[in-house]
Amino acid sequence: MPREERQQALDVYEAVASRRAVRGFTDEPVPAEVLRRVLSAAARAPSSGNMQPWQIYVLTGAPLAELKKRAAERVAAGDPGDQREYQMYPSGLTFPYRDRRLAAAEKRYAALGVPREDRRARDEAVAANWDCFGAPVALFCYISRGMGLPQWADTGIYLQTVMLLLRAEGLHSCPQMAWSVYRKSVADVVSPPDGLILFCGMSIGFADTTTSYVRSDRASLAETVTFLNG
Ligand SMILES: Cc1cc2nc3c(=O)[nH]c(=O)nc-3n(C[C@H](O)[C@H](O)[C@H](O)COP(=O)(O)O)c2cc1C
């Protein structure tokens, strides 16, 4: 599709509204030029001091198959993962964040038909992360160890820009902190230079529309935004 048509086909509101964490992809390959176009455009994302602190690796084909194989072996062995380099969630979460997190998990497992007490089925759902939910493309976002909180925020802005541009190409994604659990396997495959921390992975591809999901909730505007009008 020419660029002009793509732009007409999906405005920014539609891109934002239609983006969701897709956890089931078809194996349809994503053309390399589409990935290049998306990542070239995403480079326009803003960052503090224009430092662009992200370091991105994109895996398809044999390298991705190798990573999935290594991760699957670790999952099968019950490997609890590598020592974490950052805490995924703060300990001692309180209202409303703890409640939102629990509600999101409940909703997700309900959509999969997995009962709360079925630990094994839940573990299997989590393990799907390390198969990239069947996606043919995985992106890994690293950041220099010396960077501070604002630069970590920069990477988030960048990643959302990537995810919205993927929507403009008819593609879907799932950002995945879960890859930090098996970060050494990622490093074994991508060989990043010293001094980088893996923030997250991102599965990319065409959504498998047969995978059941329930649209995630959001807090009301009044809960998260305060307007001070003059
Ligand atoms: C930085 C980041 C890391 C995430 N890590 C994971 C992950 O490891 N596995 C997963 O299934 N979803 C992951 N998600 C997806 C969130 O669970 C999802 O965005 C949230 O529940 C809202 O749902 P939605 O994106 O479908 O609207 C992550 C999202 C973000 C932004």
Q: What percent of the chain has pLDDT over 70?
A: 97
Q: Starting at the edge strand that comes first in sequence, how are the strands of the sheet with 172-176 ordered?
A: 54-59, 137-144, 196-205, 172-176
Cβ of residue 200 lying under 6 Å from some atom of ligand 1: yes
Which neighbouring-strand residues pair with 37?
none
Residue 40: the pLDDT is 98
Task: For residues 161 and 56, give the distance between their C-alpha atoms in angstroms, rounded to a whole number.
Answer: 14
Structure confidence by residue, pLDDT tens digits, 153-168: 999 999 999 999 999 9
Cβ of residue 127 lying under 6 Å from some atom of ligand 1: no
Cβ of residue 203 lying under 6 Å from some atom of ligand 1: no
**3-class secondary structure, 80:** coil
Mean pLDDT, to the nearest integer, of 15-30? 98
Residue whose tokens read 């098996």: 182
Q: How far is the CA of 44 from the centre of ligand 1 (A)?
A: 23
**3-class secondary structure, 94:** coil
Residue 3: the pLDDT is 54
Residue 46: the pLDDT is 98
Residue 1: the pLDDT is 54
Under a CB-based contact definition with an 8 Å cutoff, are residues 82 and 188 in contact? no
Mutation choice for ligand 1 from 176, 186, 200, CB with most ligand atoms inside 8 A: 176
Structure confidence by residue, pLDDT tens digits, 95-131: 999 999 999 999 999 989 999 899 999 999 999 999 9
Minimum CA distance residue for ligand 1 atom 29: 175
Residue 27: the pLDDT is 97
Q: How far is the CA of 86 from the centre of ligand 1 (A)?
A: 17
Count CB-CB contacts under 10 A for residue 94.
Answer: 8
Cβ of residue 20 lying under 6 Å from some atom of ligand 1: yes
Q: Is the pLDDT of residue 7 over 60?
A: no
Burial classification of residue 174, based on how many CB atoms lie within 10 Å of its CB (0-12 exposed, 13-18 middle, 19 or more buried):
buried
Give the Å distances, CA to CA, from 106 to 20, 100, 110, 214.
17, 10, 6, 11
Which phi and psi angles does 122 have, rounded to 5°? -65, -40
Residue 96: the pLDDT is 97
Which neighbouring-strand residues pair with 97?
none
